[in-house]
């Protein structure tokens, strides 16, 4: 459903892209290299290799590999650092392809940097990361698929230098209670919360605090919306209008205030009013009133990570509800202007303290999994930003007691929210206090 609506007032901060080193105000998105030339071992008359780099998932390169493996070679135009290749496999929801990736500087001495089988379950991009190597040419060689069709078929390929995703993880990596890969280990003695109690065979509508939550932390703080647990592991946000704002808070007071955290959840878009700033939205370090609708607006200071309904991602900072400002990122759905509906999509949001040039700051990171959690998820880094001053959202009316350039360093409430919902679903949610990773 796409109904035109007014925007929530906020001030956009278009921040120049930067490398993944910590710098005040920086954010990063793994930008692919331009590919000036592409060739292949063979192709169909209507599916040339150029179709794999045209930015259109509706076209594809096809090659007959019944007699020999097929390859497609991307020429980057110059020697560059290569640490990540993302491939959109044609009919990837039904097929798994066996392939390898080689990188070379002279189109002869290729170094194999990855070999294996695609995860399947999606026709969008799967990202394959590896320790970066130098090269001008990237060659993808396809040897088979799960139906032994005799054809190599790739819709799109992107190459980048930054190591931002892992295709497979060693068995020693840590997983949460749902089997989802953890990005950063839980801190010793750190607080944890999971939605495992959503699967206790007790369907219920949450009114106030969830009586089935063993921690007593989660509560419904929605406006014009309901929160329903099906007892099988899924929470649904249910509303009836474009101004419905369902919200689940993890609010345990000072004894359960999350500080440096890794938050993970999976989201199923079903039906909504397509409000731009709604979608996959989670906030951290809010004050005790969380996303306040009371008179205590200054308790609503929050850092949000968002995969928005307009197809973009961003980071939003709020110091006094409802005014805010956002560091805006790019479209993350290959030009589509909405979050894909009808499939489970994972988000990881990390919020932790850092020191930059002797000054305290907070780093925010966003990751995405489009495999539905297969093998713990293939987590692609979408972007990050650091707040160490200079990010001062507006404060309508009387200003809060702290300065406008306030950096929320202490912990606080976690807010899972949405806007303009008719029905959307969530599962496998967790929040873990982490030891901040080294810069």
Q: Per-residue pLDDT tens for 206-236?
A: 999 999 999 999 999 998 999 999 999 999 9
Fold of 11-29+170-433: Jelly Rolls (2.60.120)
Annotated domain spans of the chain: 11-29+170-433, 37-160
The alpha carbon dihedral of 127, 130, 132, 135 has a sign of: negative
Q: Do domains 11-29+170-433 and 37-160 have the same CATH topology?
A: yes
Query: What is the mean pLDDT of the segment spanning 52-79?
Result: 93
Higher-pLDDT residue of 408 and 162 is 408
The two tokens of residue 329 are: 């990122």
Query: Helices then strands (H, E): number in the chain?
Result: 0, 25
Task: Say what percent of the chain tops pLDDT 90.
Answer: 59
**DSSP character for 185?**
P
Cα 346 to Cα 373: distance, rounded to the nearest angstrom? 7
Higher-pLDDT residue of 177 and 328 is 177
Higher-pLDDT residue of 273 and 402 is 273
Instruction: Dump pLDDT digits (tens) for 113-134.
Output: 888 888 877 888 888 877 788 8
Q: What is the pLDDT of residue 382?
A: 93
The alpha carbon dihedral of 263, 268, 271, 274 has a sign of: positive
CATH 3.40.50.800 assigned to 37-160: no
Identify which of 370, 365, 397 has the alpha carbon closest to the alpha carbon of residue 382.
365
The yes-or-no verdict on residue 417 having pLDDT over 90 is: yes
| Residue the block writes with tokens 């044609």 | 90
Higher-pLDDT residue of 428 and 7 is 428
Q: What is the pLDDT of residue 49?
A: 95
- Reduce the DSSP state of residue 375 to 3 states and report it: helix
Cα 102 to Cα 115: distance, rounded to the nearest angstrom? 9
- Reduce the DSSP state of residue 298 to 3 states and report it: helix
pTM of the entire predicted model: 0.65
Q: Are strands 151-160 and 27-28 parallel, antiparallel or unpaired?
A: unpaired
Query: What is the mean pLDDT of the segment spanning 249-267?
Result: 92
């Amino acid at each position: 459903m796409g109904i035109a609506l007014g925007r929530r007032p906020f001030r956009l901060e278009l921040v120049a892209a930067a490398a993944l080193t910590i710098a005040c105000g920086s954010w990063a998105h793994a930008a692919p290299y331009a590919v000036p030339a592409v060739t292949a071992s063979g192709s169909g008359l209507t599916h040339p290799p150029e179709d794999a780099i045209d930015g259109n998932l509706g076209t594809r390169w096809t090659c007959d590999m019944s007699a020999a493996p097929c390859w497609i070679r991307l020429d980057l135009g110059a020697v560059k650092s290569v640490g990540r290749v993302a491939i959109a496999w044609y009919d990837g929801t039904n097929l798994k392809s066996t392939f390898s990736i080689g990188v070379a500087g002279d189109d002869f001495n290729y170094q194999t940097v990855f070999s294996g089988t695609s995860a399947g379950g999606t026709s969008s991009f799967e990202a394959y990361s590896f320790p970066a190597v130098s090269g001008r040419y990237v060659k993808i060689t396809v040897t088979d698929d799960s139906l032994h069709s005799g054809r190599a078929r790739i819709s799109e390929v992107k190459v980048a230098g930054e190591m931002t995703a892992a295709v497979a993880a060693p068995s020693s990596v840590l997983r949460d209670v749902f089997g989802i890969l953890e990005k950063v280990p839980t801190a010793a003695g750190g607080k944890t919360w999971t939605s495992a109690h959503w699967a206790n065979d007790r369907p219920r509508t949450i009114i106030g605090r969830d009586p089935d939550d063993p921690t007593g932390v989660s509560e419904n703080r929605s406006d014009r919306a309901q929160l329903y647990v099906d007892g099988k592991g899924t929470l649904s946000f249910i509303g009836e209008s474009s101004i419905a704002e369902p919200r689940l808070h993890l609010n345990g007071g000072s004894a359960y205030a999350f500080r440096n955290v890794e938050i993970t959840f999976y989201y199923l878009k079903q039906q909504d009013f397509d409000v731009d700033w709604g979608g996959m939205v989670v906030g951290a370090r809010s004050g005790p009133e969380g996303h306040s609708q009371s008179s205590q607006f200054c308790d609503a200071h929050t850092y949000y990570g968002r995969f928005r309904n307009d197809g973009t991602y961003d980071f939003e900072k709020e110091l006094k509800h409802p005014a805010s400002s956002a560091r805006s990122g790019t479209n993350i759905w290959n030009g589509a202007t909405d979050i894909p509906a009808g499939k489970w999509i994972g988000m990881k949001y990390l919020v932790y303290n850092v020191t930059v040039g002797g000054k305290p700051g907070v780093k925010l990171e966003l990751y995405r999994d489009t495999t539905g959690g297969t093998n713990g998820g293939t987590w692609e880094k979408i972007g990050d930003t650091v707040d160490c001053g200079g990010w001062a959202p507006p404060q309508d009316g009387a200003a809060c007691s702290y300065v406008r350039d306030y950096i929320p360093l202490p912990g606080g409430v976690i807010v899972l929210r949405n806007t303009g919902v008719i029905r959307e679903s969530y599962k496998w949610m967790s929040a873990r206090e982490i030891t901040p990773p080294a810069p």
